[in-house]
Amino acid sequence: MISLTQAQPATVTADALVIVLARRPDGPVPLGDVPEVVADLVASAADVLALTGDPDEVHRLPAAGLRARSLVLTGAGDGAAPESVRRAVGAATRALAGLANAAVVLPDDGLATLTAAAEGALLGAYTFTRYRTQDQADRRSGAPLEQVQLLLGHRATKVETRAVERAQVVVEAVHTVRDLVNTAPNDLYPAAFADAARAAAKGVKGVKVTVLDEKALAAGGFGGLIGVGQGSARPPRLVKVTYTPSRAKQSVALVGKGITFDSGGISLKPHANMDEMKSDMAGAATVLASVLAAARLGLPVAVTAWCALAENMPSGTAQRPSDVLTINNGTTVEVLNTDAEGRLVLADALAAAVGEGPDLVIDAATLTGAQIISLGRRVAAVMGTDDARDQVVAAAGAAGESMWPMPLPEDLKDGLKSKVADLANVGERWGGSLLAGLFLAEFVGTTPWAHIDFAGPAYNTSGPYGYTPDGGTGMGVRTMVAVLESRCEH
Ligand code: BES
Ligand code: MN
Ligand code: ZN
């Protein structure tokens, strides 16, 4: 929970007073208005601890002379850009797990900074404890920081209050994604995801959830979902979540890859790190959380989320390399590698989504290892039609998420030729993310479309940083909400 207050740094009561430090050549300086007693504490701490103000440099000290119980210094690097503030405040609240409340000195009095600080504070206050069985005391220290006061210095305006309310809705959506991604795949299979979607949508105004089970999928010609899901004892689902506001000039379809576990199927993956493939439903979680956030924010844009859910397993009923599937739009696909399953379920969902004539379609998917090779673990790849792709990249930049535009070179498409069907699901290895994007393009027709491949950024295996915890990151939600908001201005 976040609140805006007029309280002053030296006199506010809290378990921790958080100060953001900027890196400067002569040593770090506190951002925002701090009284001398705080400035002196910061200066001596910076000296004794040899602080630099680097990102992720977080220290907690006794707060002599203040009403707060402790002083927390968190580095923001060189700038005071909103994303630097978001990260610095998030790193601080993440370090304060187990405490009840903190007060944050705002680095300046701009609305963008306020939004970033609110988002950062909430994003950092996350822990996943579902499977921990320690006693109450342990569990308490694993609980996220409960309360954050932002020291505004004046009475909050309507606009400021609304910015904080929006931040709470958006970050709650991010936490929903993190929880779903972190949930073990024995608990989160396609039907369980569908139940979770129904539960999450309950009571949200203007939202309707429709679930197609395996019988409906077979009858409806969803060959991709059926083919990928047929090796599992837990059958596939297509979950459609529609948000229909009373007045909407635009409609957007969001499509998410929802492989609740990706073993590779008969084209089995190596065992090292296979556990990470519980995160292969991050796209579906992202679109689900995003449509619910749009509804909670009451955005005047119609949004439909499509969660393409299946478990990719090897078994006697699994699909084989050389099987031919018929996707929802009639296109036939020869499955040459059962581990290239995401594009098969997405093909079905994209074809169904564009069939309803949206103004824009965006898909999110942990689609290719090649995305991690090309852009690393923190930057997502965006492909699609030029304008839609650029809009998504711009929205990501504004929201503080790292996404980068990638091309869809026509000449690579030859790689997807099949000797027997319209398309093969794999081609040559080089440019693997682009080839996957070209495959998806076959199913979106002429609808403006952006494809986000966040195989790396959706799941963090390299230790927490900034506001990003281990495991599910929830990356993508902020960008999706930003795109939907920008659509309201049209
Ligand atoms: N889910 C994986 C992609 C992935 C890899 C996500 C690593 C996160 C981390 C996807 O289904 C997959 O297996 N892709 C294959 C495609 C290949 C067979 C053409 C890949 O990238 O190796
Ligand atoms: Mn795979
Ligand atoms: Zn996969």
Q: What is the CA radius of gyration of the chain?
A: 23
- pLDDT tens per residue, range 113-133: 999 999 999 999 999 999 998
Predicted confidence band of residue 134 (pLDDT cuts 50, 70, 90)? confident
C-alpha to C-alpha distance for 238 and 467, rounded to whole angstroms: 32
CA of 366 to the centre of ligand 1 (A): 7
- pLDDT tens per residue, range 140-179: 558 999 999 999 999 999 999 999 999 999 999 999 999 9
CB atoms within 10 A of CB 176: 22
Give the mean model confidence (pLDDT) for residues 258-286. Answer: 98
The reported pLDDT for the residue numbered 133 is: 85
Determine contact, residues 328/352, Cβ cutoff 8 Å. Answer: yes
The reported pLDDT for the residue numbered 173 is: 98
The protein residue whose alpha carbon is closest to atom 14 in ligand 1 is 368
CA of 484 to the centre of ligand 1 (A): 28
For residue 262, the ligand 1 atom closest to its alpha carbon is 1
The 302-312 sheet, strands edge to edge? 207-212, 237-243, 302-312, 251-262, 360-365, 449-453, 380-384, 403-405
The reported pLDDT for the residue numbered 177 is: 99
Q: Which residues 6+ apart lie within 8 Å of 39 measured at CB?
A: 30
- pLDDT tens per residue, range 307-329: 999 999 999 999 999 999 999 99
CA of 342 to the centre of ligand 2 (A): 6
C-alpha to C-alpha distance for 5 and 151, rounded to whole angstroms: 5
Residue 137 has pLDDT above 60, yes or no: no
C-alpha to C-alpha distance for 190 and 311, rounded to whole angstroms: 7
- Tokens 């699609």, residue? 384
Is this prediction's pTM over 0.95? yes
Catalytic residue check, 269: yes
The amino acid that residue 267 corresponds to is S
Burial class (CB in 10 A: 0-12, 13-18, 19+), 168: middle
- pLDDT tens per residue, range 2-36: 999 999 999 999 999 999 999 999 999 999 999 99
Q: Of 60, 343, 389, 487, which is the active-site residue?
A: 343
For residue 312, the ligand 1 atom closest to its alpha carbon is 11
The amino acid that residue 61 corresponds to is L
Determine contact, residues 18/70, Cβ cutoff 8 Å. Answer: no
Q: Of 269, 377, 378, 413, which is the active-site residue?
A: 269
Task: Output the CA–CA distances (angstroms, integers) from residue 475 to 69, 185, 341, 400, in the order listed.
Answer: 33, 20, 22, 10
Number of the ligand closest to the Cα of 337: 1
What is the SS3 string spanning the chain?
Answer: CEEEECCCCCCCCCCEEEEEEECCCCCCEECCCCCHHHHHHHHHHHHHCCCCCCCCCEEEEECCCCCCCEEEEEECCCCCCHHHHHHHHHHHHHHCCCCCEEEEECCCCCHHHHHHHHHHHHHHCCCCCCCCCCCHHHHHHCCCCCEEEEECCCCCCHHHHHHHHHHHHHHHHHHHHHHHHHCCCCCCCHHHHHHHHHHHHCCCCCEEEEEECHHHHHHCCCHHHHHHHCCCCCCCEEEEEEECCCCCCCEEEEEEEEEEEECCCCCCCCCCCHHHHHHHHHHHHHHHHHHHHHHHHCCCCEEEEEEEEEEECCCCCCCCCCCEEECCCCCEEECCCCCCCHHHHHHHHHHHHHCCCCCEEEEEECCCHHHHHHHCCCCEEEEECHHHHHHHHHHHHHHCCCEEECCCCHHHHHHHCCCCCCEECCCCCCCHHHHHHHHHHCCCCCCCEEEEECCCCCEECCCCECCECCEECCCCHHHHHHHHHHHHCC
Pocket of ligand 1, beta carbon within 6 A: 262, 280, 337, 339-342, 366-370, 426, 432, 455
Share of the chain above pLDDT 90, in %: 96
β 58-62/70-75 pair status: antiparallel
CA of 369 to the centre of ligand 1 (A): 5
For residue 264, the ligand 1 atom closest to its alpha carbon is 13
C-alpha to C-alpha distance for 303 and 326, rounded to whole angstroms: 27
The reported pLDDT for the residue numbered 80 is: 85
Residue 136 has pLDDT above 80, yes or no: no
Query: Rounded mean pLDDT of the chain?
Result: 97
Share of the chain above pLDDT 70, in %: 98
Q: How far apart are the first and last CA of the chain?
A: 32
For residue 459, the ligand 1 atom closest to its alpha carbon is 8
C-alpha to C-alpha distance for 471 and 464, rounded to whole angstroms: 9
The reported pLDDT for the residue numbered 400 is: 98
CA of 447 to the centre of ligand 1 (A): 26
**What angle, rounded to 10 degrees, do the helices at 477-488 and 158-182 form?**
140
Catalytic residue check, 240: no
